[in-house]
A and B are shown apart, each in its own frame.
Chain A
């Protein structure tokens, strides 16, 4: 059973791991992933992130089908890893390992 819309079948290999509902889960996945794994996700999504967002935009936010929600969550993970990939070249910003910054609520999806 595909998690993503068929138009984005090429991203399917990333969906199980990265289509995560909450920031807490995405952050946990980021800090426990290698830069190579995050780079792979980033490289796969960035060429078609515009199309992916446009696909999700076809639905009202509260009536999105599951596969579009999964796609949106994958875009959120792209946002999450982009900082590690584009700026830090490590999981967390430099000199921040002594602290946490928990997101305790957020609009969904």
Chain B
């Protein structure tokens, strides 16, 4: 018996009839060839989130970002009110332009100009070539022809996106669409206390993303995060979301606040350290005052509302929590069966030690359950790669997983179609 009403079609999945209800293949997660197609069709054509504007608050502040899936590194730099992105490659002889100590690691800093470590060519913050060493030795060299190669770059709600197409088929806002645009007025820019995490994992990027699109696994994989007297009941109860939404390739799942209200639970069911720090798995108990939230945060009008997890196709997610904080997930493929996962936990700047302690508890909890996910997903990859099984059933709580794999396939097929036409 469903705890929450389902759409008139009978289920969330059937509410989106293009998804079908049959078992799905995971060949898309074990095939090196398919991954090469995804790189071309998705990672070189979709808008990709690469960071926040607070990382580059002043002119000349920059960071580099290696994007293996697009086979490049980029420089993202602040130039006055503009945020610009360039391929991180010197125009003279192709040296990676900005790096420090380790050529294959990301870096950040402040510059007036970018200077190549190899022959000293220099570039302004607008990418123009401003100096070529021994310019007179070259043959008809016009520096104006040798600026850094720009990458399309736009900012939404303080999140910096890039697009590697020559000409993106859609603007960033068109690409995001109304559902994701609905989070725009959330006060992300004020929430500058940041706990950042990373892990390199041996699983396909979609296999890893899958686990962050459904909470069906939570009462099993993460049940140990609760005190033992509660565990059997939690697993038995399972998980249902009161609201799912699919909009093109993007997705949303909202959970009910009643699940999160640890402070309303009998004390004997709460971890003593959670009681001591007034925080835990779902964040600090004392709600941050963010003022009135935009209605787009909870488009399903779930009451009591707990969490909205917005899935930005192809590889980014923002999770906004009732208690007044948010976190992000990002899934960067590095091969067909490896990825780099980046997680961030953001809140308003702590005003006191007790607030910091609450955030520390939330950040440690985030790590405890992410470790559980990461290791499990390596096991999933191994199982899939055995090739023993080629069809997998997905339930209604996995509707976003179903949509995500369909969307990646649609992007690949659409791109092939375009190539065939050209």
A53 contacts the other chain (CB 8 A)? yes
Q: Are B375 and A97 in contact (CB under 8 A)?
A: yes
Q: What are the residues of chain B within 8 A of A46 when measuring CB–CB? A: 272-273, 276
User: Least Cβ distance of B282 to chain A in Å?
Assistant: 15
How near does chain B come to A107, taking the closest CB pair, in angstroms?
Answer: 5
Contact call A101/B367, Cβ cutoff below 8 A: yes
Q: Check: B198 CB closer than 8 A to any chain A CB.
A: yes
B224 touching A101, Cβ below 8 Å: no
- Interfacial chain A residues near B351, Cβ < 8 Å: 61
> When the two chains form their complex, are residues A106 and B195 in contact, meaning their CB atoms are under 8 A apart?
yes
Given A93-B371, A107-B350, are A100 and B199 also a contact pair (CB < 8 Å)?
yes
Best-buried of A57, A99, A100 by chain B (most CB within 10 Å):
A99
Query: Is B407's CB within 8 Å of the partner chain A?
Result: no
Question: By the criterion CB–CB under 8 Å, are B198 and A102 in contact?
Answer: yes
Q: B375 — which chain A residues lie within 8 A by C-beta?
A: 95-99
Q: How far is the CB of A78 from chain B (nearest CB, A)?
A: 7
Report the contact-size class of chain A (Cβ under 8 Å from the partner): 35 or more
Nearest residue (CB) in B for A87 is B224
Is A104 within 8 A of B271, CB to CB? no
Q: Which residue of B lies closest to A54 (CB)?
A: B354
Q: CB distance A103 to B273 under 8 Å?
A: no
- Chain B CB count within 10 A is highest, among A57, A75, A83, A101, for A101
CB-based nearest B residue for A45: B276
Q: How far is the CA of A75 from the CA of B360 in the complex (A)?
A: 10
Contacts of A105 in B (CB 8 A): 194-196
With A82-B271, A102-B199 as known contacts, state yes or no: A92 contacts B353, CB within 8 Å. Answer: no
The docked-state distance in angstroms from the alpha carbon of A80 to that of B277 is 12
Residues on the A chain within 8 Å of B196, using CB: 103-106
Closest to A88 in B: B224
Q: Do B368 and A83 touch (CB < 8 A)?
A: yes
Chain B interface residues (CB < 8 Å from chain A): 193-199, 201, 224-225, 227, 271-273, 276-277, 349-354, 356-357, 359-361, 363-365, 367-368, 370-372, 374-376, 378
Beyond A56-B352, A61-B351, A101-B367, 15 extra complex contacts between A and B, CB < 8 Å: A49-B277, A50-B276, A56-B354, A59-B353, A79-B273, A79-B360, A82-B271, A92-B371, A94-B224, A95-B375, A99-B374, A101-B371, A105-B194, A107-B195, A109-B356
